[in-house]
Structure 1
Amino acid sequence: MCTSLTYEDYKGDWYLARTMDFGFNLDGRPVVIPRNYHFDSDASANGFDTKFGFTGAGRNLNGYILVDGVNEKGLSAAALYFTESVYAEEAKAESVNIASHEVLMWLLGNVASIAELRAKFANVNIVAVPNSLLQIVVPLHWIVADKTGKSCVIEQQADGIKITDNPVGVMANSPEFDWHLKNLNNYVQLNPGLHENKPYGKFTANGFGAGTGALGLPGDYTSVSRFIRMAFMRQHAEKAQDSSSSINALSHILNSVEIPKGVKIQADGDVDYTQYRGYMEMATPTYYMQPYDDQTITKVVLTEALLTKKEATEFPLKPTQQFNTVTE
């Protein structure tokens, strides 16, 4: 389970940020995939080639699998769990056949902007083949954004692939994205201010202070509530001045949906928690990763040296968090 949002700073630069919420330890770390890279595929003997270099969170599992990132053209994307997914049972001739867990790499490696996404994705066939780590067909949908601020959501169900413009810049998990948009109609009363006093007969009810405008904002960890909470935060959070203050602001915004260990338990006993938060700066482009056990943020800039390497580059996370001890 995850939550994501797009964010614009004071200069007009755009970011995509996400929480990675999962019970099974994914052990992700920042990875850079260089230009003109070949991926083997679980859905096709030929695999697929990429054109653009990109960076994001992933692992080498007999081949790299990434779950979010940003490419050299400023396109960013994140994969989120979506149980309603329905994928093709067979590969199709003349199509790009990829597994659900490979879509993210294909997107970042071959698409430069939202404007060209639909045309390029028209030849993609997502095939129902299992992921080698989880041993299941991973049900996913994807939020994609570019440095112009445009964003969309990709979902595949029984009626086929659907690419939907994202006017709110937010995505969570199930139900489908259109349902979440309709559900926002139930929360038009929310605002960051104070509610006015209200008379009831001869009695006047007074609000208990600042924050009364957000009464009714859901606080649980379901995807439905996280979507509403994130839409509210994104709408009203102040714009930061630059990239460093934007990452700081996004960290605070995502705090509102971060899941601590122990408060969300799955039916099988797995404990869902926020394994990391990822921040994608599209103007630079740069990837930032903030893990659960160490709130230090690791920053990876897509340099020309990294983009022109022959092999992928990993940056294992190194815990560096320190406490300042104050004594008299």
Structure 2
Amino acid sequence: MCTSLTYQNSRGDHFLARTMDFAFELDGRPLFMPRNWTVAGDAGEFTTKYGFVGAGRKLGHEMVVDGVNEKGLGVAALYFPGNAHYEAHATEGKLGLAPHDFTAWALGNAGSVAELAKLVPHVQLVDVPVALLQLTPPLHFIISDTTGKTAILEATGPELHLIDNPVGVMTNAPEFGWHLQNLSTYGTLTAQERPLNNYLGYTSKTQGPGTGALGLPGDYTSPSRFVRTVFAKHFSQPMADTPSTLNLLQHLLDNVTIPKGVKLKADGTSDYTQYRGYMSLDDQAYYMEPYDNQELQRVVLTPELLAETTPKEFPLDHQVHIANMN
């Protein structure tokens, strides 16, 4: 399971951030993909037009679950159990993609949300498993760009199209429209302290600041994480530069980050936040924060990196760093 959000700071810079919550160890690391690289996808080959960087691995072929490309398009794949629908085979004339190859295809071939919207009707997601998991992962996708436009792609039928995302937040199942409707249940929450009523002549003592958010769900289910993230994003104080915005995004994701052991599956394994990814769309920079080291580790799409002609993996530092003050 995962949580994602977009953010625009007070200077007008755009970001896409996400948690990667999973029980199976994915061992993701920053992966650069060059222009004009042919990916041997599980449902067929495709070639990149743009260079991009994101979290992924080479497992038979290069796979990326989130990232940003040289045009400032950001894409992230999140789990969508019980709702994703895939075709057995692609319709003639359409490009068939395995669901786990969609992120790399989108980042490699679209420069904006508008451009991707024109491309996806010519694509179908097909039921092809990923070898690492021995299953076809049920996925949906959040896409954003430097205009601030944010969209969702959910494969619930044979025809693909983008859905506008007015709140810039996405979690997991149910489908996105359900989450938007569910927000009405919490539409009266506020960051302000609420005055208490006088009941039958008795005036209660206030519980202090925070009473405006009474009823905000605090569990780790997908609907609760969605509402909590929308609330925190809406009321958070915007920052004016990239470092302070990244720090703010870390705090926003703290609301939905899952420690090991607190969300157990039926088989006894624990879903937990294996890493948090941050995409600076205007700077074309990717930041990764593994579970065991909360120091951000950055890869920027510099002209030198974009001139590379082969994929490149970057090792992650998993060592905890503590500053010595004496």
Tell me the TM-score normalized by structure 2.
0.97
- Residues 152-204 of structure 1, C-alpha deviation per residue, up to 9 Å, x if partnerless? 00001146434210000000000000000000000012111100121111112
Residue aligning to 2:75: 77
Cα deviation for residue 321 of structure 1 reads 3.0
Residue aligning to 2:240: 241
- Residues 121-173 of structure 1, C-alpha deviation per residue, up to 9 Å, x if partnerless? 11001100000111101100000000111100000114643421000000000
Q: 2: CA distance between counterparts of 1:122 and 1:161?
A: 5
- Residues 192-244 of structure 1, C-alpha deviation per residue, up to 9 Å, x if partnerless? 11001211111123331011111111000000100000000110111111011
2:143 alignment partner, SS class: strand
Is the 8 Å Cα contact of residues 120 and 161 (structure 2) preserved in structure 1? Answer: no
Indicate yes or no: 2:126 matched with 1:127.
yes
Cα deviation for residue 324 of structure 1 reads 3.5
| Matched ranges for 1:54-93 at <5 A | 54-83=52-81, 84-93=83-92
Q: 2: CA distance between counterparts of 1:251 and 1:75?
A: 21
Residue aligning to 1:185: 184
| Matched ranges for 1:109-258 at <5 A | 109-158=108-157, 160-258=159-257
Alignment: residue pair count? 325
Where do 5+ consecutive residues of structure 2 fail to align? Answer: none
Q: 1: CA distance between counterparts of 2:313 and 2:298?
A: 12
Q: 2: CA distance between counterparts of 1:90 and 1:115?
A: 27
Identity %, equivalent residues: 49
Residue aligning to 1:52: 50
Q: Which amino acid in structure 1 is aligned with residue 308 of structure 2? A: K
More off after superposition, 192-201 vs 138-147: 192-201
Q: 1: CA distance between counterparts of 2:39 and 2:323?
A: 45
2:298 alignment partner, SS class: strand
Q: Which amino acid in structure 1 is aligned with residue 78 of structure 2? A: L
Across the aligned residues of Structure 1 and Structure 2, the Cα RMSD in angstroms comes to 1.2
Cα deviation for residue 307 of structure 1 reads 1.2
Is the 8 Å Cα contact of residues 99 and 139 (structure 2) preserved in structure 1? Answer: yes
- Residues 242-298 of structure 1, C-alpha deviation per residue, up to 9 Å, x if partnerless? 011111110011000000000001112221000000000000110000000111110
Q: Which amino acid in structure 1 is aligned with residue 27 of structure 2? A: D
Residue aligning to 1:30: 30
Q: 1: CA distance between counterparts of 2:40 and 2:324?
A: 50
1:246 alignment partner, SS class: helix
Q: Which amino acid in structure 2 is aligned with residue 242 of structure 1? A: D
Is the 8 Å Cα contact of residues 198 and 206 (structure 1) preserved in structure 2? Answer: no
Q: 2: CA distance between counterparts of 1:225 and 1:169?
A: 16
Q: 2: CA distance between counterparts of 1:318 and 1:216?
A: 39
More off after superposition, 90-99 vs 158-167: 158-167
Q: Which amino acid in structure 1 is aligned with residue 76 of structure 2? A: A
More off after superposition, 281-290 vs 116-125: 116-125
| Matched ranges for 1:278-293 at <5 A | 278-293=277-292
Q: 2: CA distance between counterparts of 1:56 and 1:256?
A: 23
Tell me the TM-score normalized by structure 1.
0.97
Is the 8 Å Cα contact of residues 5 and 168 (structure 2) preserved in structure 1? Answer: yes
